[in-house]
Chain A
Amino acid sequence: MKLEGGKISSSHLTFLIVGFILGSSLILSPGMAAKHDAWLAVLVGLGEGLVFTLIYLTLAMRFPGKTLVQYNDIIFGPYLGKVISLGYLWFFFHLGSLVLRNFGDFLTSMIYPETPIAVFIILTTLVCASAVRNGIEVITRCSLILVVFTVFSVLGTIILLAQDMKFTNLLPVLDLPLKEFIKASHSAATFPFGETVVFLMVIAFLDNVKQAKISTLTALIVAGLLLVLSLLRNTAVLGVTEGIHVYPSYQVIRLIKIAKILTRLEIIVAVNLLTMGFLKISVCYYATVLGLAQLLNLRSYLPLVFPVGVLMVSLSILQFDSVIENIFFAFEIYPYYSLPFEVGFPLLSLIIAIIRGIPKQEEEKGNRKQDSVDNI
């Protein structure tokens, strides 16, 4: 437990989770498959995401002060537990590199068309590496400022766009087959909401574990409602054409024209993506590095920060050849690929923990075990 000395408070955790969920979903709108019902799909997805989060929280409450990698060893035994932990770490690592790639794709296709994508990815990783080296406490404190700014910018753009909105654009509500709708809402549940599985590595450092439930669920609901608001804004302004844009939020904010003074505000979206993406990448990066250090029984996670960062940069550059491949993966493959990590393994560990009644056994021999853990 000496790996991370920092403690975070539950209200800071709320901000961090809001930032994490808004991460890349402010740009890559989830639930796009449902077209103008995307907001409804996200709302249903939020419900599904809350169920996922309850699974994670029940699991985290059973093992207070321990991270995912540590209690995988207790639940599944030292060998199988290590294999499953490695699976989780791959998922966190890959999630970080996917967000990095979204980041680079957005910047190169919209703002800096002539610059190679590696420039943005490497610079972002450097910033995140510095945040990760400083520990979870620093990342959480950053989120306090950045998330407030993002929330205000989302609400502000809604007010500025009020004159362009046509709510008839939303009208044929649920005008698509139920199967399509469920697919879209499930994709919304796995893309921003289910990714909170990463926080199983972070909740351990909360100063008051009992408040984890309230703060996490509040964060999920706040972030979900903000997403729904931004999707309503996009659909009400763009209408049917929403589906043809890769980044609808960016297109919407381009349309703001008030008295020839407030124009070209689209950079706000880029700033939102930069700040929220920074939080999301940092949390994934941190979870990977910390988990790897715990898996290998190291005394410090700092030496792993740069090698893992370089691997993340390499993976994010080589994994897709174009933006279209990235979007296809995010909406068609990712909902199924992430399912075992977001639902399968956590649910399995929870069921095994309940059947074996593990935390109670731990209390009996807890003292002896605690000593040996401290010695490491």
Chain B
Amino acid sequence: MVFTGTPQQVPGEIPLRPMGFPSEAAYARFVRSAYDELSALGYPNALIGIRGSAATGFSYRTGRAFNDSSTKPSDIDLAIISRDLYERIAVIAPRRVNSKQGRTDPLKSSDELTVDLGIADIILRARSGTGQPSSIVVYRDLQTFIDRRFFVAVE
């Protein structure tokens, strides 16, 4: 299943490749390993997403293209949509969630919270697989994620 700004279902394949991933195969490997890891952590219903310029090709905020050579390297802005994971963060690190907005702060692999949660390796693999910096925001539910727009979500 693939969602873009307008949700669209494409069963059985991963046809959209966000910027930064060198090949379809590399992107598919990253996605599958991330889902495997989330399942092993006890979040089998979690959804992975990618937001921002890696998903759309340009930054909605700055208007610049992904990895515009005149600017700093663009991040792979990852998202995990999982009520269970979001609620776990709300318990162990309540300062890191915004319950009104239904999402966490951006989390980096250097943040010990990602180790507590077991998701640091997902960030590190996005970085090693693309050569781009990376961080994750955890969203409470799919609608909250969709409401922020400018994303790709894959299953």
Q: Are these two chains actual partners, yes or no?
A: no
